[in-house]
Structure 1
Amino acid sequence: MQEVQHWIEEAQLGDQNAWEQIVQHFSGMAFSVAYTRLGDWSLVEDTVQEAFAETFSNLHKLQEAEAFPGWFKTIVERQCHRLLRRKKPMMMPLDETIVMDVEKFDVELIAERREWHQKPSHILIPILSRSLIFKGISIYIHRFMSC
């Protein structure tokens, strides 16, 4: 622990080698904490990098070198929290998810289906053949009767 305190004190004075030692020594802990929170290695790598950047820019604020491990862990956790707040889950209707699995990410077809779903039904009905209209009505009635 004395060695870590020495690195921190030297890094606060601008010693690049001491900073590199700190990064090597605390990377494992940072990755472990971030992966526990995020569960995605690509996000973890970004988060750890951001945490080290924040730590480096605020290292002069650290008053006691022995407090570094807890202080740094708090920074990593805060970076994870920031990322989770910014990250919006991608939501997609279930039928499009199935289409994506079956049609192997055919972007044109997915865009066409989205456009199709957004058109009002009064525009779509004249386009459909009589057999498709009949099938659609049959399905609708069957679903209505099953409720």
Structure 2
Amino acid sequence: MTTASTVPATSPDDATLVSRVRDGDVRAYEQLVLRYQGQMFRLASKMLADWTEAEDVVQEVFLNAWRRLHQLTDDAAFVGWLYRMTTNRCLNVIRARRPKVDVDLDTAESPRTDTRPEHAVQVSTQMAALTEALQELTPEQRACWLLREVHGLSYEEIGVIVAANATAVRGRIARARAHLSEVMKPWR
């Protein structure tokens, strides 16, 4: 999953860093955390719709990754392993909740800043509608949709993360897209 565009040419690849961590190099683990904490936080914050919970989840995931690094069988699979741990931890948090929560997808990173108030109101209203529609999905559908549409992962990568085959992942994403398409019709 690590590409040349995400890792500067002078930085060691994930496998090299993981190998160094196994040899006791704490700075190598710091590099891995710095490299992936933003991606894991964006995923957690969108799944949980709560920055504080997302921060807690990401911190817990990186702590568990440090403690369980010996369980990782392929050093190059580190980022996929992080996605899987983050997704699973978020799903557990969602399942443990009793009431629905109010989600604000626009809080992580807004792709655009527009100074026209009428446009800002429209975008805000659309984001609120999308947030509400995402909360109506099952946690598994939401996870698959976010991993595909927001994080750009392949069906196979998502399958590994959510412990499902690619066909099941495609089905979840298709159902999520159909629901979101229906709910978002007024905004087209």
Using structure 1 for the length normalisation, give the TM-score: 0.57
Is structure 2 residue 35 aligned with structure 1 residue 25? yes
- What are the residue-to-residue correspondences of 1:1-40 with 2, within 5 Å? 2-40=12-50
- The corresponding residue for 1:66 is 76
- The corresponding residue for 1:43 is 53
Deviation, 1:15, is 1.1
Which portions of structure 1, spanning 4 or more consecutive aligned residues, are displaced by more than 3 angstroms? none
- Mapped to 1, the partners of 2:92 and 2:38 lie a distance apart of 20
Query: What is the identity percentage for the equivalent residue pairs of Structure 1 and Structure 2?
Result: 31
- What are the residue-to-residue correspondences of 1:1-147 with 2, within 5 Å? 2-89=12-99
- Mapped to 1, the partners of 2:86 and 2:55 lie a distance apart of 11
User: Unpaired segments of 5 or more residues in structure 1?
Assistant: 91-147
| Larger helix fraction of residues | 1
CA RMSD of aligned residues (A): 1.6
Deviation, 1:81, is 1.2
Indicate the structure (1 or 2) with the bigger Cα radius of gyration. Answer: 1
Deviation, 1:5, is 1.6
The number of residue pairs the alignment matches comes to: 90
| CA offset digits 1:27-67 (Å, max 9, x no partner) | 01111111121111111101101111111111111111111
- The corresponding residue for 2:121 is none
- Mapped to 1, the partners of 2:71 and 2:22 lie a distance apart of 9
More relative contact order in 1 or in 2 (CA 8 Å, sep 6+)? 2
Using structure 2 for the length normalisation, give the TM-score: 0.45
Deviation, 1:12, is 1.7
Residue identity opposite 2:38 in structure 1: G
User: Unpaired segments of 5 or more residues in structure 2?
Assistant: 3-11, 101-188
User: Secondary structure of the residue that 2:13 maps to in structure 1?
Assistant: helix
Deviation, 1:87, is 2.5
